[in-house]
Structure 1
């Protein structure tokens, strides 16, 4: 019962309202919300675990294979890790439905540097922005391909990779650049791109964006 007492012209007016149905509805909504949060958390947990299992199976399959095959399997593992990391971040904050892209980028780049056992310096400048999973996953895969490409091919003995994301007002600009040896003369994204850059092109299209390559230095955006 909700009681409201008002003073009117020297008298008191008491209003008694039965709010049982309202309270029951609120409790039902609260339980439903809790159930949805639990379900969503379990979903992210299972997806993350399944991706880790797939990565482990790939690792087992690569044992005893030649170097080229192992490199292909490792590239596939990195792509899986880029996706799994999104679910890890969402799992760590059950209240959130978006991913802090700066935090995501830092963790992904740290993982890539460790996997490539690289001492290359990586500078990161990411605008404060959060993306839903439908945007964070393809952006993460794009970032994975471009940074991995620089780590594998750009340097002989150290250097710097720069990663930035800026808000241009009506769009976001993701830029990956390095001061390494650069791309071969005559290189074309349409004619010479391998699987990694082909994947980048497809992901950029899925985000209704466009890609651009410029020289000097391997610079992709």
Structure 2
């Protein structure tokens, strides 16, 4: 990032802070995400290991039970005894075997020897189970060599659940076919299923097709509310999320124990996942919030220690152009270099204020002198005009005709300066009262008796005195030239508003004096006021000119 793209000190310092914070924030976020994924992987592996441990324990129990029934069958086959002897052996196995509820052994073509610990399990019930498992699919071997064609499962007889181990051996040449069945009370399986204390929030059990609970840890066997609404089957170890029959969301893990429908199923209440997520949020937000607080503190520190003083100096600089200048702040808490800048600025302001004060005094004195000078000029013009007027009255009529234009021209100068100094200092001359007074003066001075010259000018339009005087002198020159042969009936000088920033000058006279504006003096005065001819003389019009304001 190019910090020079920011136009202010604050912007550049904050941009530099962002350059420092942004990589740290990215690294923090990546680390938090990696840690969260690692924890989730550990949780998943732990849950799958829990399911696998219970599945291995169940398979070991079935394997050992299979060895018991195979050993008993081999013993009966080895004795080659009578049916009574076979029955005695099976009875002894049931009576001495802890947890063995019933057994059925058949060797060769002999009838099966059946024995049961409980009267609730009859010989016919046992034979029915043998017939059912004889047609079932065989369970695969988990480890080692096949000891026999086996099938494992669960059956219910008289309201009680029994674990079933069925085995059949008939693949050895010149040996009889051996078929045996072992029924073990599910209570024994429940004891064998115990791997210690189950963690809170974990329910593990042996189920049939995710619908019937055989043995459970963390929940009563008769309670099926923890089973998933959508179950999964298959030989592989699986893990998924689902909603239980009670409506709670949980994580499930399952592994096949025995074909076709006997599984180990575990439910985890996702407390570990939620704790991992909260840990992830803490790992992510704590550094980010810290960086944000650091950024805010850094921004406030910039405002308090730099920007505040810069704005104070800026306000003092802006106030220099106003009528109330102020000094830049200078405080002990300011940074040393910024205090030196403020002190230098204040020294500059103080020096400038002194110079301005001296300059104002000088300007005031000069203005007074100029005003006094103009007053002297005005008074001198009035004196000259008075002397010419006295001299004209003492001369003969032919000399009076010569002196009248001279007196009129001096009178124009006096009128212009009087209007310009009406408020005590020089200002533009308003055209209408100025030309009106000039026309009244000419009507009384050069040809008394009737108004023979008139002027028209717009309201609220003024010219500086250096341009108003030539315009007045032009009116006198036009009037003087028009009276040379003594036959002028009427002369009109009209000034109107033209296009933006211009005036229009129109002169009207009788047809015998249309050349009244063609004298050298008149043309010189027109050039002096910047007039440009826009219409030639025709009829009673002596012409039209445009004058810039």
Map 1:16-55 → 2, pairs under 5 A: 17=346, 20-55=350-385
* Partner in structure 2 of residue 120 of structure 1: 451
User: Contact 2:416 / 2:434 at 8 angstroms: preserved in 1?
Assistant: yes
User: Contact 2:514 / 2:537 at 8 angstroms: preserved in 1?
Assistant: no
What TM-score do you get using the length of structure 2 for normalisation? 0.32
User: Contact 1:147 / 1:176 at 8 angstroms: preserved in 2?
Assistant: no
* Partner in structure 1 of residue 524 of structure 2: 202
Q: Greater Rg, structure 1 or structure 2?
A: 2
Instruction: For 2:390 and 2:425, locate their aligned partners in 1 and report how far apart those are by CA, in whole Å.
Output: 36
**Residue 133 of structure 1: which of 465, 478, 496 is its match?**
465
Taking a change above 3 Å as real, the CA distance of residues 144 and 126 of structure 1, as seen in their structure-2 partners, is farther
Taking a change above 3 Å as real, the CA distance of residues 123 and 73 of structure 1, as seen in their structure-2 partners, is closer
Root-mean-square deviation over aligned CA pairs:
3.6
User: Contact 2:496 / 2:503 at 8 angstroms: preserved in 1?
Assistant: yes
**Residue 506 of structure 2: which of 175, 184, 194 is its match?**
175
User: Contact 1:166 / 1:174 at 8 angstroms: preserved in 2?
Assistant: no
User: Contact 2:429 / 2:468 at 8 angstroms: preserved in 1?
Assistant: yes
What TM-score do you get using the length of structure 1 for normalisation? 0.71
**Residue 56 of structure 1: which of 383, 386, 390 is its match?**
386
* Partner in structure 1 of residue 413 of structure 2: 83
More RCO (CA 8 Å, sep 6+): 1
1:138-176: CA deviation from partner (whole Å, max 9, x where unpaired): 111112333566686432xxx684522333447532113
User: Contact 2:467 / 2:528 at 8 angstroms: preserved in 1?
Assistant: no
Unaligned runs of 5+ in 1: 6-14
Question: How much has 1:97 moved relative to structure 2?
Answer: 3.8
Question: How much has 1:33 moved relative to structure 2?
Answer: 2.0
Question: How much has 1:95 moved relative to structure 2?
Answer: 4.6
User: Contact 1:214 / 1:220 at 8 angstroms: preserved in 2?
Assistant: yes
Taking a change above 3 Å as real, the CA distance of residues 165 and 118 of structure 1, as seen in their structure-2 partners, is farther
* Partner in structure 2 of residue 166 of structure 1: 497
Taking a change above 3 Å as real, the CA distance of residues 213 and 154 of structure 1, as seen in their structure-2 partners, is farther
User: Contact 1:125 / 1:163 at 8 angstroms: preserved in 2?
Assistant: yes
SS of 1:214 mapped into structure 2: coil
User: Contact 2:479 / 2:491 at 8 angstroms: preserved in 1?
Assistant: no
Instruction: For 1:88 and 1:102, locate their aligned partners in 2 and report how far apart those are by CA, in whole Å.
Output: 14
SS of 2:540 mapped into structure 1: coil
SS of 2:444 mapped into structure 1: helix
Map 1:100-111 → 2, pairs under 5 A: 100-111=430-441
1:173-213: CA deviation from partner (whole Å, max 9, x where unpaired): 211325xxx232xx673xxx69x944212212333435565
Question: How much has 1:60 moved relative to structure 2?
Answer: 3.2
User: Contact 2:421 / 2:427 at 8 angstroms: preserved in 1?
Assistant: no
User: Contact 1:52 / 1:84 at 8 angstroms: preserved in 2?
Assistant: yes
* Partner in structure 1 of residue 488 of structure 2: 154
Instruction: For 1:218 and 1:83, locate their aligned partners in 2 and report how far apart those are by CA, in whole Å.
Output: 27
Q: What is the count of residue pairs matched by the alignment?
A: 202
